[in-house]
């Protein structure tokens, strides 16, 4: 699948939102998000630090990130990647 930069950015942003959803930013979740960003970054350049700041500071909300995924297969991928981030620390809460 070839991703454009906006799609890759949206996928990583959704993973970041998933990591922040439980109020804990554990090392395992951060590592999983980093792996996702690296794997997607091979196809589309992602400035991970800037993206992290945009999500953390509320400049890139979940609604905007989801709107960047206009295909059903990308939305399914976003879901699976987000679940992987949430489960990275051993459980869901």
Q: Is the pLDDT of residue 33 over 80?
A: yes
Does residue 43 have a pLDDT over 80? no
CA atoms within 13 A on the CB side of 39: 12
Q: Please state, in angstroms and rounded to a whole number, the distance separating the CA atoms of residues 11 and 91.
A: 21
Q: How far apart are CA 41 and CA 26, in angstroms?
A: 22
Tens-digit pLDDT profile for residues 44-61: 688 889 999 999 999 999
| Full-model pTM | 0.90
């Amino acid at each position: 699948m070839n991703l454009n930069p906006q799609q890759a950015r949206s996928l990583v942003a959704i993973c970041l939102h998933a990591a922040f959803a439980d109020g804990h930013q554990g090392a395992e979740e951060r590592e999983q998000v980093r792996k996702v960003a690296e794997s997607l970054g091979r196809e589309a350049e992602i400035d991970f630090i800037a993206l992290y700041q945009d999500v953390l500071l509320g400049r890139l909300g979940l609604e905007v990130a989801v709107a960047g995924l206009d295909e059903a297969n990308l939305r399914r991928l976003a879901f699976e990647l987000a679940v992987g981030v949430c489960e990275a620390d051993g459980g869901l809460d």
